[in-house]
Amino acid sequence: MIGLIMWYFLMPNKHSVYKECVSQNVLHPEIVTAQSILETGHYKSRVCIEYNNLFGLYDSKNGDYYKFNTWQESVKGYKNMIQYKYKGGDYYKFLEDIGYASAKNYTSVLRVIDIK
C-alpha cells in the first residue's frame, strides 16, 4: 500500500514533466511534454506505469518497450534516443520526418494539447 501511495505522489503530470524537460535541457519542452501526454494517455498507460516510459520508446532489439527506473530517466532516454537526431527547424516536421508516430494526425493532435 505504501508503494502505491508513493507512486501516486511521484507519478508524472504535465507540470512535472515540463519542469524536468527544462532541467534536462530538452529542446522544445512544450512539444515533448505534449508527446508524453499523448503517448501515455495522460500518464495512465501500462507502459508509463509499469515501465516509467513516457514516450513509448521501443527497444526493437529486445522486442519490448524500454524500462526505466524512474520517469525522469525516460526524459533523458528521449533526449538521447530521439533528440540527438534533431538538427534544427520545425520540430513537428522533424517528428514526422523521423516517423516518430504512425498516426497520420499525430502532430496535429500534439499542437492542441494544453500543457499550461
CB-CB contact of 72 with 35 (8 Å): no
Query: What is the band of 104 on the pLDDT scale with cuts at 50, 70, 90?
Result: confident
What phi and psi, each to the nearest 5 degrees, are found at residue 5?
-65, -45
Alpha helices in 1-116 (DSSP H): 2-10, 14-23, 29-40, 46-51, 71-81, 91-97, 106-112
Average pLDDT, the chain: 92
| pTM score of the predicted model | 0.90
- Give the three cell numbers for residue 85: 537526431
**Residue 5, pLDDT above cutoff 60:** no
CB-CB contact of 66 with 50 (8 Å): no
Query: What is the band of 103 on the pLDDT scale with cuts at 50, 70, 90?
Result: confident
**Residue 3, pLDDT above cutoff 80:** no
Q: Which domains does the chain have, with CATH numbers?
A: 12-112 (1.10.530.10)
Residue 9: per-residue pLDDT: 56
For 67-87, write each residue's pLDDT tens digit.
Answer: 999 999 999 999 999 999 999
Mean pLDDT score, 19-25: 97
